[in-house]
Structure 1
Amino acid sequence: MTKKIVIVGGGTAGWLCAGILAAEFTAGLEITLVESPDVSPLGVGEGTWPTMRSTLKRMGIRETDFLRECSASFKQGSKFVGWRTGASDDFYYHPFSLPTAFNELDYHTLWRDSDGRSFDQVAGVQSRICELGLAPKTITVPEYAGALNYGYHLDAGKFSALLQRHCIGTLQVKHVLDHVVAVEQGGNGDIDAVVTQHRGKLEADLFIDCSGGRSLLLGEQLGVGFVECARYSINDTALAAQLPYANDQAPIASATIGTAQQCGWIWDIGLSSRRGVGYVYSSAHADADSAEACLRRYAQETAPHVPEQDISVRKFNIRPGHREKFWHKNCVAVGMSAGFIEPLEASALALVELSAAMIRDELPQNRTQMEIVARKFNQVFTYRWQRIVEFLKLHYVLSQRRDSDYWCDVVQAQSIPGELAEKLELWRSRPPYVRDFLQVEELFPAASYAYVLYGMGFCGENAPVRRFDGERARQLMQEEQKKFHNYQKAMPSNRKLLDTVAQFGLSKV
């Protein structure tokens, strides 16, 4: 019976995993998190998916406290600038709210026959709400509810600290600050204990590896191999910087902004207290000096009030890929221990949530069950990693940019995953739909593919005209337009709502 779990590694992945598990089991399960006292969490800006709302609610964290303590803001999707042609008017949105009746109505035909509007504007109101910098709710809407679907932008260091306080103080997670100096295995290959420098052995029935890219347990100790994805994702380096707002009334973006550059792209995340920007690029196409110069130019263009000497840039290496399997013996990897790829669609924290949730829901109670659960877990997350690689690649392969070697290389046929190439062939004759995807809980549903596909201007071949419910479509468009006008009048700006939350808080009910 699983009575003890040891999580090796803290940070957002470790503490989020601990919280998700500890909130579910009120008795009979002891959870210990051990982390090095020498590792400080990085205060980089991160984006979440809407799933984080239900995750935090289930853990018992108030949304008001989360927003206040993590410099968090509301994120309603992603805005991609300059990916199609690089022209000044080149942008599209991948919003979180799905189109109404997407699997019933042919939104591709609606968009094709529209008056020049973008696909995201035809499919719903959220992209226009984001362009106006408006929030997804008003102050009277209860915590974790919203008129529009939303996730968050947050300070990762502050978020980790909040999770730690909540896990220790409320959820009774045991915390050990110590160095892991050895790992002991039994005769069957299971991990029996991790040995710490001062506290000695920490024994458990299940070990969760949240040690980051090092993958101390699953990779180093158990020898699980790594699947390289550099063939599909050539970006292997990131630079990050923090930019203060010009004043306390400066607008806060309602979406993550990803702006294409000659050798990669720049993220721009608006927290409540500052912005976080970073350049993700291919070191085969840009050296460190030219990449930093590119990021600094962007900072000066978008934050001219910040003296260049005040901008501190940090560098991170990216090894695109994932472990061959994620659960082996009595050890499961979560977070960067399992894998990492460029943060184009902010999938990192979502994968932590999904991993911890499956461990929680499938927690094995004997060794035979553990083998079954491990096999299921590996099947699910191998599939999910394949879909992430595929979906991120979709953002590149339809680009018309050829202004650098980088943009010529990322569209090469040999860099496109086979299943994506097959889907693109099918989508030349019809839009994406639900049966293109195998799982009920897809990371990226058919609508997400449509937002990127048609946001990038993908036009299929002439196909037989399908039956189209024009009256239903016209009625829906009228309803959406009315909804937009109502939201435009009612919704405060992102900044205004966050200021109000900071002062008064959100309703608990």
Structure 2
Amino acid sequence: MVVGGGTAGWLTAGVIAARHRTRIGQDFSVTLVESPNTPIIGVGEGTWPTLRATLSRMGISETDLFRQCDAAFKQGAWFARWTDGSASDGYYHPLMLPQNFGQVNLAPHWLAQDGDESFCDAVCAQGRICDDGLAPKTIATAEYDALANYAYHLDAGKFAPFLQRHCCEKLGVRHVLADVEQVVLHDDGDIAAVRTTQAGLVEGDLFVDCTGFKALLIEGAMGVPFRDCNDVLFCDTALAMQVPYAAPDSPIASHTISTAQSAGWIWDIGIQTRRGVGHVFSSSHITDEQAERELRAYVGPASDGLTARKIKIRSGHRETFWKRNCVAVGLAAGFLEPLEASAIVLIELSAKIIAEQMPACREVMDIIASRFNATTHYRWGRIIDFLKLHYVLTQRTDSDFWRDNVRPETMPDRLRELLHLWRYQSPWFHDEFDRAEEVFPAASYQYVLYGMGFRTQIPPAALGRDAHLASRAMRENAAATARLRAGLPRHRDLIDRIVSHGLQPV
């Protein structure tokens, strides 16, 4: 049973139901209990490329996603003013791996060239594609296939109802609209049922807590405490706006734009009918009023008459995610600032484990829970490391916020060790990224490190062995970049064609 709706609840229910669809109605059922009175928070509009495979496995049409969720393509993120704060300061974290990444590590060879070309442009085509305002595929490319790797920007308020309709109509999920009054426990401490106002007692064997920040099951019934990480990640507040385009045919950026401010950063996400723009900041370093002034200055005259919605951020996660027969997913499990769109991918990965490792009986559930907790703790820790990386590499000293972020005591131990290691060897997938389904692979660390001016000391002798492979890979990347720039359509043009004509179904 899934308790709570929204993106977390419906995505989890859908992943489980799709995995076990042949059992639905026999010895297996998926029920989602959702309050009719709880609004969707709907902050996160950015996703990770994993969502393509997740939606495909659920049997969802990509064309329908674009038509019903105001979706656009996301090919990465542009980070502006994070390094030194100047107007020319910026770099891409694209979603494509460097050319021939599994064969040769191009970072040392790019460092040795010491030229003017950015690391991103030297090793992949996606930065140039984004600069040109191009889409990552054509109308002839099949659903979920890509010429350049991509995720989505979408309207979170439309995405959850979209998932709900598919889950109920196609996957056999039972939907119970009711307010939970009480969590009923067995004598041994397991959850037996939830008592609801409108539907009475709803029983289950495994309960997934998707009740958001309320955490009715994992905290309210199971008593699992929350582990703060605000000593590492300082941003604790967001002000969000929905900004209309100047014209119906205005260009849509195919990447997230993250622009650093005096005590945080502003996200700028384009979907079909509007931009989602928000300021994420530390209330210990700036007031709400100051933050709103920075937000309105960024948006410009288009912000006149728009309301900035305030959202509190409690950075951290549960001390344990699966206790007895209760597992927390989504905001009930934790939340981190949306700098790298990690919220939805964590839902996907958690749901995937639950679906694939669904306990056959209560006797093995604790074993599966232990494995789930170990994997999930690892993932949250690595995401915290990666988000902090963006801050500790800054050269900005113009405010207490940036100065405080580089203090060694605010840095996770693992990240501090890796930064020391990377002074002498560049990260690569053979090294410290050895876990299955890393959320952020070694390539992501390379893009941020070298985008922000980090230097790795590479002995010339270490380059000789792979020099011919590196040279060939960079030539292949240059050729691929030219080919894609010449053949890909404008981002908005492709979206309009998808909405009008549809993509080829798989």
State whether TM-score is above 0.5.
Answer: yes
1:21 maps to what in 2?
Answer: 16
Paired AA for residue 178 in structure 1: A
The structure-2 alpha-carbon separation of the partners of 1:262 and 1:460, relative to structure 1 and needing over 3 Å to count, comes to same
SS of 1:432's equivalent in the other structure is coil
Matched residue, 1:126: 126
State the shift of 1:123 in Å: 1.5
2:87 aligned partner: 88
Q: Partner letter of residue 192 of structure 2? A: D
Tell me if the contact between 2:137 and 2:146 (Cα under 8 Å) persists in the aligned partners: yes
2:495 is matched with which residue? 498
Counterpart check, 1:487 vs 2:461: no
Partner residue of 2:261?
261
TM-score, scaled to structure 1: 0.96
Cα drift, residue 462 of structure 1: 5.8
CA offsets per residue over residues 124-156 of structure 1, 9 Å max, x none?
111111111100000000000010100000000
Counterpart of 2:347, as a letter, is V
Structure 2 residue identity aligned to 1:474: S
Shift of 1:159: 0.4
1:154-303 to 2 correspondence within 5 Å? 154-300=154-300
Separation (CA, whole Å) in 1 of partners of 2:119 and 2:225: 41
Offset of residue 463 of structure 1: 4.1
CA distance in 2, matches of 1:462, 1:136: 34
Shift of 1:441: 1.8
- 8 Å CA contact 2:133–2:254 kept in 1: the answer is yes
Aligned mates of 1:383, 1:324 — CA distance in 2 = 12
CA distance in 2, matches of 1:507, 1:114: 44
Aligned equivalents of 1:453, 1:43: Cα separation in 2: 31
Q: Secondary structure at the match of 2:135?
A: coil
1:101 aligned onto 2:100: yes
Corresponding residue for 1:440? 436
| Distance in 1 (alpha carbons) for counterparts of 2:243 and 2:140 | 31
* Paired position in structure 2 for 1:3: none
Whole-Å separation in 1 of the counterparts to 2:489 and 2:454: 34
CA contact (8 A) 2:228 2:316 kept: yes
CA contact (8 A) 2:99 2:474 kept: no
Q: For structure 1, which segment, 134-143 or 31-40, has the greater mean C-alpha deviation from structure 2 after superposition?
A: 31-40
Kept after mapping to 2: 8 A contact 1:45/1:271: no
CA shift digits 1:417-472 (9 cap, x unpaired): 00000000010001012221241221111111111111110013464630433222
* Residue 401 of structure 2: aligned partner: 406
How far apart, CA to CA, are the structure 1 residues paired with 2:212 and 2:39? 13
The CA distance in 2 between the partners of 1:49 and 1:79, in whole Å, is 15
Q: Is the 8 A contact 2:296 2:303 kept in 1?
A: no
Distance in 2 (alpha carbons) for counterparts of 1:221 and 1:281: 32
**For the residues of structure 1 that align with 2:44 and 2:304, how far apart are their CA atoms?**
20
Tell me if 1:458 matches 2:457: no
* 2:462 alignment partner, SS class: coil
- Partner of 2:19, secondary structure, is coil
Q: Write the letter of the residue equivalent to 2:231.
A: R
Further displaced range: 433-442 or 28-37: 433-442
Q: Map 1:270-349; keep pairs closer than 5 Å.
A: 270-300=270-300, 304=301, 306=302, 308-309=304-305, 311-349=306-344
How far did residue 489 of structure 1 move? 1.2
| CA offsets 1:70-106 (integer angstroms, 9 cap, x no match) | 0000001111000000111111111111012325323
- Asked if 2 retains the 8 angstrom alpha-carbon contact of 1:430 and 1:463, the reply is no
Counterpart of 2:445?
A: 449
Whether the 8 Å CA contact 2:210–2:328 is kept in 1: the answer is: yes
2 CA distance for matches of 1:307 and 1:332? 41
- CA contact 1:134–1:254 (8 Å) conserved in 2: yes
Q: Which residue of 1 aligns with 2:412?
A: 417
- Structure 1 distance, partners of 2:195, 2:312, is 29
The equivalent residue for 1:73 is 72
Unaligned stretches of 5+ residues in structure 2:
none
Whole-Å separation in 2 of the counterparts to 1:255 and 1:99: 18
Number of aligned residues:
499
SS at 1:149 equivalent: coil
Moved over 6 A (4+): none
1:383 to 371, 378, 392: 378
CA distance in 2, matches of 1:437, 1:479: 26
Deviation per residue, 1:291-325 (Å, 9 max, x gap): 1111111110xxx4x2512x111000011000011
Contact 2:10 2:160 in 1 (8 A): yes
* Alpha-carbon displacement from aligned partner over 1:110-129 (angstroms, at most 9, x marks no partner): 32205311111111111111
Question: Is this contact kept in 1: 2:109–2:463, CA < 8 A?
Answer: no
CA distance, structure 2, for counterparts of residue 195 and residue 188 of structure 1: 18
- Contact (CA 8 Å) 1:252, 1:271: kept in 2 or not? yes
Note if contact 2:257-2:268 (Cα within 8 Å) is conserved in structure 1: yes
**Contact 1:20 1:360 (8 Å CA) reproduced:** yes
Cα shift at 1:43? 4.7
Greater Cα offset, 253-262 or 99-108: 99-108
| 1:405 partner letter | D
For residue 338 of structure 2, what is the amino acid of its counterpart? P
What SS class does the counterpart of residue 30 from structure 2 fall into? Answer: strand
Which one-letter code corresponds to 1:109 in the other structure? P
Cα distance in 2 for residues equivalent to 1:467 and 1:483: 24
In 2, are the aligned partners of 1:364 and 1:370 still within 8 Å (CA)? yes
- RMSD of aligned Cα (Å): 1.2
**Percent of aligned pairs with the same residue?**
50
